[in-house]
Amino acid sequence: MNNFIFQNSTRVYFGKGCVKEYLACLTKGANTILLAYGGGSIKRSGVYDEIIEILRDAGKTVVEFPGIMSNPTYAKVQAGAKLARARGVEMILAVGGGSVMDCSKAISLAARYDGDIWDNFWARPGVIAVEPLPLGVIVTVAGTGSECNGGAVITNEEKRVKTGRDYPQLNPRFALMDPTYTYTVPQSQMVSGGFDILSHIMETYFSEPNRDNVSDDIMEALMKSVIRNLRVAMENPRDYTARSNLMWDATMAENRLIKMGKRCDFQCHNMEHQLGAYTNCNHGCGLAVLHPVYYRHIYRDGLPKFVRFAENVWGIARKGKSDEALALAGIDALAAFIRELGLPTTLRALGVRQEQLNEIARSCAISPGSYRQMTHEEILEIFQECYQ
Ligand code: NZQ
Ligand code: ZN
């Protein structure tokens, strides 16, 4: 196992009714609150009314910041920071999924920082020497795990770059997670978020070290949990047990715990982020298209782990199969699961144009943690194989 330091500063309040029970208490000390949310699902689901009532009863001044889009832009971050400064906001309350949480993390820094946060923190890693605005989150869709880390993925539309950075100072102070809030998530988004969870685990699992380590064991249990509970939630979207497990699987996948001692890959994330920067495609859908093809490119370089994946995650019996055949059977099982979920399987279906592939491939960051480091030429090959 590699050396590591572990800390996670976010306090989680999990379960049915947690917002009603804890929100007033958690916002004590802040009079003016920036309520950040997305395109309106919280108004349709009733979550907005519930939160407004709690905040108004507690005597808060609520400054609304709606309209945070999927794949949040740097321009939106700047607009949020400007509003927070102008209105003397003391705390940000982000209500939504990864996009709302990530945008709010960047706003929490931009509102307190005089320079350009893109140039100094996202274009390259920086050192945060200011105290960002306090941030609390209320999660409404399971997927990114952004509720329990300092990661924020932002799209700079002008530069056509979508990139994430993880600063511990941007961890939310608290995360309220009521699984019943996810009941209204459309199935297409539920499965894309579900695949994002699986991807976060696989991107960590398929990396050195391969020798016995507790993170790999936890990850096998988590992957099986995601697969099992997604199947249940597809059948019954209001299954509390399945929704709870998925919500916590998402947090467990990205609260940094499973990454301890692991090198981590995230090459598929690097590729998907640039597909997103050019086409605004859905994050989980992009990952679903890329993963099986990418794994067929690298499985020989991490063969023992791909064999383990086939046997321990998908329960495939060896029955005389060679290591290579077993590894490929595991990847085939993953591809079949993607089809079972109804996720897209081609870049064409995502709305990517063939003539864009070369430019997008050249813009992708290369992960040092992959079993085999990609070249831009190989990324282009992967994109072409994914095209149709
Ligand atoms: O915008 P509204 O109207 O709220 O609708 C949203 C949005 O259309 C809808 N939704 C959310 N909760 C709902 C609901 N609809 C009905 N009922 C509810 N309860 O879901 C749609 C997608 O929301 P979004 O936040 O965009 O999805 P997700 O959570 O998948 O976040 C995606 C973003 O997070 C980044 C992605 O790249 C992408 O930009 N990521 C962030 C990470 C992190 N911070 O650690 C890691 C990830 O790998 C990822 O890159
Ligand atoms: Zn992801």
List, as ranges, residues with CB under 5 A of the ion ligand 2.
Answer: 196
Asked if 14 and 177 count as a contact pair (C-beta separation under 8 A), the reply is yes
Angle CA 126–151–193, to nearest 5 = 155
Contact 134 CB / ligand 1 (< 6 Å):
no
User: How many angstroms separate the CA atoms of 50 and 298, rounded?
Assistant: 48
> How far is residue 218's CA from residue 222's CA, in Å, rounded to a whole number?
6
Of 166, 108, 180, the residue nearest 137 (C-alpha): 108
> What is the 144 CA–ligand 2 centroid distance (Å)?
5
Report which ligand 1 atom has the smallest distance to the Cα of 155: 39
Q: What is the pLDDT of residue 205?
A: 98
Q: Is the Cβ atom of 149 under 6 angstroms away from ligand 1? A: yes
Find the ligand nearest to 151 CA. Answer: 1
Q: What is the mean pLDDT of residues 107-114?
A: 98
Q: Which atom of ligand 1 is nearest to the CA of 71?
A: 39
Is the CB of 368 inside a 6 Å radius of any atom of ligand 1?
Answer: no
Percent of the chain with pLDDT over 90: 99
| Ligand 1 centre distance from Cα of residue 182 (Å) | 12
CA of 152, closest atom in ligand 1: 44
Give the Å distance between the CA of 56 and the centre of ligand 2: 35
Nearest CA to ligand 1 atom 46: 144
Least Cα distance to 50 among 37, 68, 69, 67 occurs for 37
> Rounded to two decimals, what is the model's pTM?
0.98
Residues 33-43 have a mean pLDDT of 98
Residue 281 CA to ligand 2 centre (angstroms): 13
pLDDT of residue 388: 85
User: How would residue 233 be classed by pLDDT, with cut points 50, 70 and 90?
Assistant: very high
For ligand 1, atom 42, name the residue with the nearest CA.
Answer: 144
Task: Give mean pLDDT, residues 43-55.
Answer: 98
The 10s digit of each residue's pLDDT in 243-279 is 999 999 999 999 999 999 999 999 999 999 999 999 9
Decide whether any atom of ligand 1 lies within 6 Å of the 98 Cβ: yes
Residue nearest to atom 5 of ligand 1 (CA): 41
For residue 216 and ligand 1, the question of a CB distance below 6 A is answered with no
Q: Side-chain half-sphere of 159: how many Cα atoms within 13 Å? A: 14
| pLDDT (0 to 100) of residue 1 | 84
- Look at ligand 1, atom 22, and give the residue with the nearest C-alpha: 70
Q: Which ligand is nearest to the CA of 146?
A: 1
Judged against a pLDDT cut of 90, whether residue 2 lies above it is answered with no
Q: What ligand has the least distance to the C-alpha of 186? A: 1
Spatial neighbors of 149 by CB under 8 A, at least 6 apart, are 8, 10, 166, 171, 254, 255, 256
Q: What is the mean pLDDT of residues 375-381?
A: 98
Residue 268 near residue 195 (C-beta atoms within 8 A): no
Question: Which of 50, 70, 247, 267 for mutating ligand 1's site (highest number of atoms within 8 Å of CB)?
Answer: 70
Tens-place pLDDT, residues 304-315: 999 999 999 999
**Across residues 190-206, what is the average pLDDT?**
98
| Residue 249 CA to ligand 2 centre (angstroms) | 13
- Average pLDDT over all residues of the chain: 97
Mutate to test the pocket of ligand 1, among 122, 137, 141 (most ligand atoms within 8 A of CB): 141
Ligand showing the shortest atom-to-Cα distance for residue 149: 1
State the SS3 of the chain.
Answer: CCCCCCCCCCEEEECCCHHHHHHHHHCCCCCEEEEEECCCHHHHHCHHHHHHHHHHHCCCEEEEECCCCCCCEHHHHHHHHHHHHHCCCCEEEEEECHHHHHHHHHHHHHCCCCCCHHHHHHCCCCCCCCCCCCEEEEECCCCCCHHHCCEEEEEECCCCEEEEEECHHHCCCEEEECHHHHCCCCHHHHHHHHHHHHHHHHHHHCCCCCCCCHHHHHHHHHHHHHHHHHHHHHHCCCCHHHHHHHHHHHHHHHCCCCCCCCCCCCHHHHHHHHHHHHHCCCHHHHHHHHHHHHHHHHHHHHHHHHHHHHHHHCCCCCCCCCHHHHHHHHHHHHHHHHHHHCCCCCHHHHCCCHHHHHHHHHHCCCCCCCCCCCCHHHHHHHHHHHHC
Task: Report which protein residue has its CA nearest ligand 1's atom 26.
Answer: 70
